[in-house]
Amino acid sequence: MVDAVTKRIAIQRVETLFHLAKEVFDRNPSLAQRYVDIARKVAMAARIRLPKEYRRMVCRHCKSFILPGVNCRVRIKQRREPHVVVTCLNCGKHMRIPLKKRKEKTVDA
């Protein structure tokens, strides 16, 4: 079992690694990718979810580190439900992020 102290340390390391990846990306993209790979492995080992802000910096398909305007394209679409479409320029796949929050079902008692 993973205790609370281990999870807190893992979260700190993940944050540090993503921060380093952002700093280093323009000079050395392969090192930034290595930092992100290590951060994902730390999160998996500690059995924690990556925070939403970091999850969106990783392509869901090829697991590469993406920064808007550098190696991904971000567009807002209004069709059906309004959503943001992030296109990874490494693999060409799309990730859709809904803009409206889902309505919670109310239970009448």
Tell me the pLDDT of the chain averaged across its residues: 90
- The residue ranges of every structural domain in the chain are 1-57, 59-104
Helix/strand/coil percent split, the chain, to 5:
40, 20, 40
Which pLDDT band, with edges at 50, 70 and 90, does 8 fall under? very high
Q: Higher-confidence residue: 105 or 74?
A: 74
Say whether pTM exceeds 0.85.
no
Residue 108 or 42, more confident: 42
pLDDT at 94: 93
Does the pLDDT at position 108 exceed 70?
no
CATH for 1-57 is 1.20.5.420
The pLDDT confidence band at residue 100, using thresholds 50, 70 and 90, is confident
Return d(Cα 64, Cα 30) in angstroms, integer. 10
**What percentage of the chain exceeds 70 in pLDDT?**
93
